[in-house]
A and B are shown apart, each in its own frame.
Chain A
Amino acid sequence: MNWLLLAGALSALSAIPAAAQKAAVPPPYAGVYQPQGVDEIGWWRQDDEDERTLAASPLVIRDEKLTGYIRNVLCATVGTGRCASARVYVIREPVFNASMSPNGTLRVFSGLLLRMRNEAELGAVLGHEFGHFERRHSLNLFRTQRSGTDLLAWSGLLASMAPSYNVIRVYRDLQWSVYGHLFRYGRDQEREADALGVGYLNQSSLPPQAAAAMWQNLMAELEASAKARGLRKPNFKTVAFTASHPPEGERAATLAGLALPDGSGRDNRAAQYRAALAPWLPLLLEDQIKLNDFGGSDYLIQNLAADGWTADLWFARAELYRTRGNQRDFANAIQFYGNAISLSGALPAAYRGLGLALTKTGRLIEGQAALQKYLQLSPDASDAKMISMMVPGAMRNE
């Protein structure tokens, strides 16, 4: 009876999307799409309201150049026809994330931009999100969830009509299998979006191998983060019952297999990516450092410095060490601030950090000189008054 009920339950839910094992060739682009049916029209309307709010939100980084650049990478990945259906919003939030909602709102989180190393990697993420959008995954997931919960409501009613031990047990089993099914359905959608994402890249001028490389890089960051905390390195192979996405290890391996082998020679446009992101790097690093993830942040900074240290990178590393704030960290920070200052004299905040770190290590005279320099370079800084209290004589100069 148990088994029968389960089988009936699962067949009542809508079909699981076939987890594509080879990179899907993107379907022909259908042109401008309008929502159909009550559910989809309802969700789009809700989504339109959300987008209206988002467009006026203080969280959005409103920079036409940056937004335009990301849009161009999306267009290069999915093709100019498709990318017309997306609106790009860059959200200032230092997490590795992006999302594309049913009506075509593409949210790109600033933490993602810090972690991507070239246009191909960014394209891989944007393509994945576009895959969700093109296959209308949210709508299908909503419908699956609705039939799952409807089923549970009815069977809950039946179970409470004859509340024997066995009936309750069967109901609990059913509950778990419905929940499990819903999570698996979501993970299968991720797999489908992964396959589509690589499918777009295969057809583009960007190397599809970037998708796997990006996951390996993220795994290395997570490993570095765990190591700095003294934790065992994260297990990239487990599938938790409630995981929303397939494990990173599986994704990297699958994506590598899906990539077109002769695509590996294409230009991943790393130089162009670095140039476009350069003006934003200080802000992105500042937000990242405030996450208090020493291992992860240091990994990212060192990775960015792989082809040469810049003043911004030395400064970020110095701030990272100074804000962790052990005595030994100040010693390192002093050295890094020094490196930053020797590369660029136009970094007032480096003098500020240097002065504070020197003061903490007992080198008061040098520290005050550095703080004095900071006040000279940026007399209108928001903390100028506070800093001037640490510099004898500075108050009188005002």
Chain B
Amino acid sequence: MSPEWGALKMKTLKGIVFAIGLALLAATPAAAQERSARKQGFELATGSGKRILVFRPSVSVGSQSTGGMFEPNGDWTEKATTNIRVSLERLQSRLGNSVVAAPEAYGDDAQRLQEHMALFAAVSQAVIEYQFFRGNRLPTKKRDNKNDVFDWSLGTGVASLPGAQDADYGLFIYNRDAYGSTGRKILQVLALLGPGIAVKSGEHAGYAGLVDLKTGDLLWLNADGAMGGDVRDAGGSEKRVRQLLEEFPGADLKPAQ
């Protein structure tokens, strides 16, 4: 039998090999990578009073062990979830939009919602991989044959999701933070001072996407593999959400002074 916490175990076993491989390597961010795109012709004027339905954000916060493994932290994740929600509401209200949390779904609705969450994750991964990364761009998404084309859709099925009837746009949020543990930070410093190896400490990745709830078209996507702002406190999470909403249509989210 190849049973028990199978997924978990495989994940962590793979994680080990990967983490050790990474531990002593400098991770160079892909400088050529784009981070944000907006569907052609889509504008959202400030103060247009649109209703934005926020689907359950995927938030996980933890620390990074000395060897580079992810250590989930329940308390931090809890705090980050609340902080991100509060900051999101505040920032969107400054844009003149109202934010509604998607209602709890039951039965068939829950399954349809789950499928769309998975679909959004797959589509955004495809965007990040095949559109944002120039060298990897699909023929249909190339600049030279289609200028500024950002043409992705989840299909009209989104219109039937619970809560979609009363809102204009749907917002999906993914956020994953691994804060370097004390051991990891010491390793980072010593590796740099000693043999001069760059060790990466911490990982802060996130993406957010806006979907038209009538057509299912992806209107805007922003993905960032290295974000600032400490989601564990209110001020930091405001900075984080501001980064997540960078280049949000119609947005000029200067820090509130």
Which chain A residues have a beta carbon within 8 Å of chain B's beta carbons? 35, 38-39, 41-47, 49, 53, 55-58, 96-102, 125, 128-129, 132, 137-138, 141-142, 145-146, 148-154, 156-157, 160-161, 163, 175, 179, 182, 186, 193, 218, 244-245
Q: Which residues of the other chain, B, contact A152 by a CB distance below 8 angstroms? A: 20, 23, 67
Check if B20 sits within 8 Å of A56, measured CB to CB.
no
Q: Give the chain A neighbours of B74 by CB distance below 8 A.
A: 35, 38, 41-42, 44-45
Contact (Cβ within 8 A) A42 B72: yes
- Whether A137 contacts B67 in the complex (CB less than 8 A), given A149-B16, A153-B20, A157-B187, comes out as no
CB < 8 Å neighbour of A150 from B9, B12, B65, B197:
B65
| Interchain CB contact (< 8 A) of A138 among B9, B24, B115 | B9
Partner of B195, one of A45, A56, A137, A161: A161
The answer to whether A46 and B23 have CB atoms under 8 Å apart is no
For window 28-62 of chain B, which residues contact chain A by CB distance below 8 Å?
58, 60, 62
Within 8 A of A (CB), among B61-79: 62, 65-69, 71-75, 77-78
Q: Take A53-B114, A101-B5 as given contacts and tell me if A46 and B72 are in contact as well, using a CB distance cutoff of 8 Å.
A: yes
Question: Closest CB-CB distance, A113 to chain B, in whole Å?
Answer: 14
B56 CB to nearest chain A CB (Å): 9
Cβ–Cβ < 8 Å partners of B5 in chain A: 99-102, 132, 137-138
Chain B residues within CB distance 8 Å of chain A = 1-9, 12-13, 15-16, 19-20, 23-24, 58, 60, 62, 65-69, 71-75, 77-78, 105, 110-111, 113-115, 117, 183, 187, 190-191, 194-195, 197
* B122 shortest CB reach to chain A, Å: 14
Q: A41-B75, A146-B69 are in contact. Are A157 and B190 (CB under 8 A)?
A: yes
Q: Answer whether A141 and B12 are a contact pair too, CB < 8 Å, given A56-B110, A157-B195.
A: yes
Contact indicator A43/B3 (Cβ below 8 Å)? no
Given the interface contacts A46-B72, A244-B9, does A125 sit within 8 Å of B3 by beta carbon? yes
Contacts of A163 in B (CB 8 A): 195
Q: How far is the CB of B63 from chain A (nearest CB, A)?
A: 9
How many Å lie between the Cα of A186 and that of B10 in the bound state? 11
Instruction: Say yes or no: B67 contacts A149, CB within 8 Å.
Output: yes
A46: chain B residues at CB < 8 Å are 60, 72
CB neighbours of A97 from chain B (8 A): 1-3, 6
Cα of A338 to Cα of B105 in the assembled complex, Å: 48
Task: Report the nearest B residue to A153, measured CB to CB.
Answer: B67
Taking a contact as CB atoms under 8 Å apart, the answer to whether A42 and B62 are in contact is yes
Please report whether the interface of chain A is mostly helix, strand, loop or mixed according to DSSP.
helix
Minimal Cβ-Cβ distance residue in A for B6: A99
In contact, A149 and B20 (Cβ under 8 angstroms):
yes
- Contact across chains for A149 and B19 when beta carbons are under 8 A apart: yes
Residue of B nearest to A124 (CB): B1
State the Cβ distance, A264 to closest chain B Cβ, in Å. Answer: 22
Q: Are B12 and A142 in contact (CB under 8 A)?
A: yes
User: Closest residue of chain A to B5, judged by CB?
Assistant: A138
A-B contact pairs, 7 of them (CB 8 A): A97-B3, A101-B5, A138-B9, A142-B69, A151-B67, A153-B187, A154-B187
Cβ of A245 and Cβ of B2 under 8 Å apart?
yes
Residues of B within 8 A of A132 (CB): 3-5
Question: What's the Cα separation between A127 and B190 when bound, in Å?
Answer: 47
**Contact call A45/B72, Cβ cutoff below 8 A:** yes
Query: With A157-B187, A157-B190 given, is the CB distance from A148 to B12 under 8 Å?
Result: no
Give chain A residues whose Cβ lies under 8 Å from the Cβ of B110: 55-56
Q: Complex formed: what's the CA distance from A161 to B183 in Å?
A: 18
- Chain A contacts for B69, CB-based, 8 A: 142, 145-146, 149
Which residues of chain A are within 8 angstroms of B20 by Cβ–Cβ distance? 149, 152-153, 156, 175
Q: Are A193 and B187 in contact (CB under 8 A)?
A: no
CB distance from B178 to the nearest CB of A (A): 11
In the complex the two chains form, is A161's CB within 8 Å of B194's CB? yes
B73–A129 CB distance below 8 A? no
A297 smallest CB distance to B (angstroms): 19
Q: Are A42 and B71 neighbours in the complex by a CB distance under 8 Å?
A: yes
Cβ of B67 and Cβ of A148 under 8 Å apart?
A: yes
Q: Quote the shortest CB–CB distance from A149 to chain B (angstroms).
A: 3
> Could you tell me the distance between the alpha carbons of A102 and B12 in the complex, rounded to whole angstroms?
14
Chain B, Cβ-Cβ closest to A115: B1
Q: Nearest chain-A residue to B73 (Cβ)?
A: A42
CB-CB < 8 A to B23: which residues of A?
149, 152-153, 156
What are the residues of chain B within 8 A of A157 when measuring CB–CB?
A: 24, 187, 190-191, 194-195, 197
Instruction: Looking at the assembled complex, report how far the CB atom of B256 sits from the nearest CB atom of chain A, in whole angstroms.
Output: 31
